[in-house]
Amino acid sequence: MSELKLKSLRDLLGKNYFIPSYQRGYRWEKRQVVDLLDDLYSFIIKKNKGEGSFYCLQPIVLKKCDEETKKSFLPDFQENCYEVIDGQQRLTTIYLLFKYLINENNFSSKLSNYGGLYNIFYQTVHGSNECIERPEKEKRDTPNDYYITQAYKEIEKWFRGRGEVKGDLLEAFESFLLYDANKTIVKKTCGYAQIIWYEVDKDVDPIKTFTRLNIGKIPLRNAELIKALFLQNRNKSNSADIQQIYIAKEWDQIEASLQEKRFWAFLNKDLKEIPNHIDFIFNVIFAVEGKKEEQAIKDNIIKSGKLEGLGSTKKINKEAEKQAKQAFNDKYGVDEYASFRFFSTKFEDALKKNEDALMQCIKNEWETVLEYYATFLDWFNNPLWYHYIGFLIYCSDPKKETEQIIKIYNLYKNSTKKEFRQKLIDEIKERLDIRLKTEGDGRSELINSAGEPIVYSDQNRTLLRQILVLYNIEHIIQKNKQYLFEKNGDLDDDENDTEEDCELMDCENDTEETDYDLRKSYVIFPFDIFKEKRWDIEHIDSFTTNPFTADKQRQKWLETALNDLKYYGKDYKTYGAITDKERKVLEDYLIKPTNFEEVTWIVSKLASEYRPEGELEKEIKNSLGNLTLLNARINRSYQNAIFPSKRKRITKEDASGEFIPICTKNVFLKNFDGVTNTNIEWNEQDMRAYQNNIIKVISKFLTKEEGGNNDK
């Protein structure tokens, strides 16, 4: 049975490690050696390390040597013999560090308490066996010898470079390498080192394992280590065997489900790929449980009274929180293996009681994993929750994405459907923090953020993108709700929806048949497809002056605009909106470019394009009523085209299967109330009608401005 646990570097001592011939031997160069020493040193000198702080090296993978291997290569050592499948570079470098301390500071007397320094043996490189024992003696008989002696020189040079503090540093490293949490014989302030020890079952093929881990340098992943923890069976009972089988089967089912693109895109801000998607669940559990543990540490710090000298309660709380965070990070680390150490510690604590306690702990923790997975699946399968939660995750800070999941999870616990729905709405409302007020003329409503109107600018791009995504999402939700209202004659008022109404709208009906029928009718916002693309905030009616400078580009723009206008029935040769003189300007420009500014004004006139002057142009054309969400590829390819050209292009892209957000399609098709009845222009009336539609659709997420008149 495979064994996975954290071991201190002290636990490596007194053992014998065999490097088989299928490995290339030791090859670390100066950079890797110095990086390791720098990392160890940074941890050793770090101040205010928490109780139980340790530095953790990445995994070593081993297998107990069989009798034939011991007889052939380790005849003098029959106990504690291990074949190193992966991790020999770290194991050898740590060995050389021990050797340096022995040669420099008579460290061997302390090592003798633990069986002495460990031994490393190479299957085919016989010279290296002698070299590893005396690395200070330069040997170049084999590549292995060369790299070993060079690494030892780098260790010597590194310590020499510390000059006057070298003596203290040697003592600190000795304390760090030999610290025993149970038998404190050295400086506790230095902390100690651990390594992830992964001992595979005797029946595992070591060559296949080595190949898998080293083709493309694939390290052992966090989820693989956690899986080994959950699948351990120390008491060899039938019930434990059955538990293993169920966990292994359910593990694969969860992983397969999380690999489904739409589910994964829903749960993550972007489509980041990780080898094992189940890691997502372990990281969330670690974060949720970790917050509780941090709070307990903080409470103990405050109760101890050690911070009373700080004075105010606020200062005490702040310092206690800081120390608790540091202690927690010191205990579990902040790297990709943090959640592994969290579960490993739980299982080790249970094992200290007895093996039955360990198996029960594994069972309980796996039930927790299943509960979190069921929760995420519940969110995903509920159309309304899917949209609101998906939007909140989309809006989250990439560095705080897990915090957003935790917040939603806490909102979900112990809530009814109606309560949870309202909590999600409130959370979106709080995140956007947008206020709504009515213009003085009463014609339309404006939304603002931090007291300023929300208009197109670099500062507002993220907020505008979020508003437009929410507009698309809420439009879909309301259309779905309209379908249910027509089908069931209910759900006509959000504020007065009953619990039963919420269940119906969330597609959680009593009968499986009805439930399936409703789900088939639901349209959903495809977060997976959306997150594959880059999205621009597009001016529906072009705002910027045409950016073309080359004559050929300008001629091509004019030719395209005239052809597209002709497609919509406005042939410049016959259409009465322009004069004969203006027609001649266009024709002459196609032959020989002259004044492009004049040409653009004539085309705008022909297209009935809205061209206000000066500040009014900025105010109107940068307003929310002139902005939509568009695939960056499409937006940047038609470069400042006129409205009919954009409409034609959007229609063509949509017909070809390109994902165009529903509200973007509605804009170019002018498919909502209040817009003008023309396919080739986007004017002020259209902009106001479109902006009012956005506000109407997302109104439940807006905070009404005090004194504003919102009864429309």
Kindly report, residue by residue over 48-71, the tens digit of the pLDDT: 776 667 888 888 999 999 898 888
Kindly state the average pLDDT of the residues 276-298: 94
What pLDDT score was predicted for residue 472? 96
d(CA 106, CA 114): 15
What pLDDT score was predicted for residue 439? 54
- Please name which of 529, 551, 552, 568 lies closest in space to residue 649, comparing C-alpha atoms: 568
Quickly list DSSP for 438-453.
E-TTSS-EEEEETTEE
Confidence of residue 446 (pLDDT cuts 50, 70, 90): low
What pLDDT score was predicted for residue 148? 92
What pLDDT score was predicted for residue 258? 95
Kindly state the average pLDDT of the residues 638-650: 78
SS3 call for 260: coil
Q: Residue 467, class by beta-carbon neighbours within 10 Å (0-12 exposed, 13-18 middle, 19+ buried)?
A: buried
Query: Is 90 exceeded by the pLDDT of residue 618?
Result: no
CA contacts within 13 A on the Cβ side of 380? 20
Confidence of residue 257 (pLDDT cuts 50, 70, 90): very high
- Please name which of 555, 546, 567, 642 lies closest in space to residue 603, comparing C-alpha atoms: 642
- Please name which of 450, 456, 457 lies closest in space to residue 435, comparing C-alpha atoms: 450
Query: Is 70 exceeded by the pLDDT of residue 83?
Result: yes
What are the helix and strand counts (H, E) for the chain? 30, 12
* DSSP single-letter state for residue 201: -
Instruction: Locate 207 and state its tokens.
Output: 């060559």
The pTM of this model reads: 0.77
What pLDDT score was predicted for residue 562? 85
User: Diameter of the chain by CA atoms?
Assistant: 106
CA distance readout (Å), 109 to 97, 106, 116, 678, 693:
16, 7, 8, 93, 81
Query: Is 50 exceeded by the pLDDT of residue 183?
Result: no
Query: Is 70 exceeded by the pLDDT of residue 188?
Result: no
More confident residue, 168 or 79: 79
What pLDDT score was predicted for residue 613? 57
First vs last Cα of the chain: how many Å apart?
71
Q: What is the mean pLDDT of the chain?
A: 82
Quickly list DSSP for 59-85.
EEEEEEPPHHHHHHH-TT--SSEEEEE
Quickly list DSSP for 457-489.
STTTHHHHHHHHHHHHHHHHHHHHHHHHHHHHS
| Cross-strand bridge partners of residue 4 | 198
Q: What percent of the chain has pLDDT over 90?
A: 34
The most confident of the ranges 48-57, 113-122, 691-700 is 691-700
Confidence of residue 2 (pLDDT cuts 50, 70, 90): confident
Q: Are 339 and 196 in contact (CB under 8 A)?
A: no
